[in-house]
Structure 1
């Protein structure tokens, strides 16, 4: 099971449900571990409350970016969240936590149809929340989750304003694209928007970029770019839309408010880590 390191990428939710079903039927679960494509060190984002968990995008209260492999998560789920199934994890050989997928020597195979690049996987935890707005995340193109736009947008204006923020490790460029994925916004229409290029993964912060993008889209296009159901659930913070849009809170303040729970999670996860840096 090839996960991409993001809580709301639903494969780990499916894993948890399989583990629960196995316990109920006295079956063993065997997890053949795979690399976390975006590495096993960085964690970030909000941690949903236990009351807000249970669906596939927030199966358990863990950060959006958890920095664990599926095998490590299976151990954590089984113990910390009381699943208690008969679990066996077959670990990888020679994998290092600090590695991104392009450092493993393995060929990238799309884990799902629209997760086509490591860059998209890297940006997804922080900027994937844009998918709950009525805009395109470039599904059906060669670079989904690296481009964001809509027919009404001005890509030059957006890229200029995002560039002026000086976000380390990221660059922003105007782009036109035509999404082709069925069931998603603006299929077959020309969308104008922004392309995000990761120039330094060691300092880039997709969460900060994602919060700024949502604020910018709402400021520039308040009657056209709207919230769709699921924004707070995907983000893992039921207050986020109110704070970010209604109250116009600085994204830096929001990120700072997530830090204490993240530090607590760092301590909890230590006993389940299977690999060194």
Structure 2
């Protein structure tokens, strides 16, 4: 499989962009087929005059939600402009004034609340020519999950019209965004080669490179599609441990009791085992927490969003006075916490499935890769 960056030099020469002043939006997880950074490769072959970094910075090591400052890249000597602030402020169009085009080469994870796609939307809104160097969706392109986010809940961690797991590559998504949000800037793509949309990350033949500090394992990427919702609760999602989003818990949980109750859900694609841990940062820092560790049994049938809703509902049933939700939850989930409670859960699951099917039908016109 070849990513867009592997074909970019020839493709951009064909577009007569080989000698144009170009911006490159990238990060440390964007690698070529020979595992060279996109930044190093493209700066050697094209007239890249400015670098731009999303959340977590060019090196993908800055913690979630922390401001990313402008800096200078030691390797290339180029200024690295930040495209992220904790307040989610708009991109400054003046920074792009003397540039002929923007290359976007970011390894995404295929989820609505991952902020790299919010940065992509902001770039498309500038009206400058944008060319996406396409990369595979780690979760594949055949499955859609979660409710479509209503405009009333839009934020930098969620744009209206998208379900949680949208089943498009970053390049396909760019064209969906252009159509859905009625953006009129010039948009191009350098497509993948040898990629099938039903392929999961494990079928790409490439090792996983962390796209942000909490997604260091490919298992975490899949579970993050659901367990990101823990960020909207007082449960630790595992930040400050070696396995964020693979484990979760809180000081008030009895892990053996919770494991027994979750086992009654009859889940077949994942199994949970009791665990205790002490987060080194974030929620419950330095406190002993108890909870569950998720072990994926079948990636193809795994539906992490649905699983998370059922697990959260179980925790609420067991600990109604101790499980708390914050204002962030609805922005991530697309609905209010009350929709998880026992008497409403089935309807919420059905609505999520209906929305997912609606988007499945909608996205077909933007698909560029067969199975």
TM normalised by structure 1 equals 0.91
SS of 2:229 mapped into structure 1: helix
The equivalent of 2:195 in structure 1 is 95
SS of 1:249 mapped into structure 2: helix
1:29 maps to 2:127:
no
1:114 maps to 2:214:
yes
- Structure 1 gaps, min length 5: none
In 2, the alpha carbon distance for the partners of 1:73 and 1:268 equals 12
- Structure 2 gaps, min length 5: 1-105
The equivalent of 1:236 in structure 2 is 334
1:3 maps to 2:108:
yes
Q: 1:82 aligns with which of 171, 176, 182?
A: 182
Q: 1:105 aligns with which of 205, 215, 240?
A: 205
Task: Tell me the CA shift for residue 250 of structure 1.
Answer: 5.1
1:252 maps to 2:357:
no
TM normalised by structure 2 equals 0.69
Q: Which has the larger radius of gyration?
A: 2
In 1, the alpha carbon distance for the partners of 2:278 and 2:287 equals 6
In 1, the alpha carbon distance for the partners of 2:351 and 2:252 equals 33
Q: 1:161 aligns with which of 261, 278, 282?
A: 261
1:227 maps to 2:227:
no
Contact 2:236/2:283 (<8 A) preserved: yes
Cα deviation digits, residues 19-55 of structure 1 (max 9, x gap): 112x1xxx211111111111111001010123332x2
Contact 1:42/1:66 (<8 A) preserved: yes
Aligned CA-pair RMSD:
1.5
The equivalent of 1:198 in structure 2 is 296
Change (3 A) 1:13 1:5: same
SS of 2:364 mapped into structure 1: helix
Cα deviation digits, residues 216-248 of structure 1 (max 9, x gap): 2222222322111111111012xx422223xx2
In 2, the alpha carbon distance for the partners of 1:146 and 1:251 equals 23
SS of 2:173 mapped into structure 1: helix
Q: 1:268 aligns with which of 357, 362, 371?
A: 362
Contact 1:208/1:251 (<8 A) preserved: no
In 2, the alpha carbon distance for the partners of 1:179 and 1:91 equals 41
Change (3 A) 1:46 1:120: same
Contact 2:138/2:200 (<8 A) preserved: yes
Q: Which structure would you say has the larger RCO, counting Cα contacts within 8 Å and 6 or more residues apart?
A: 1
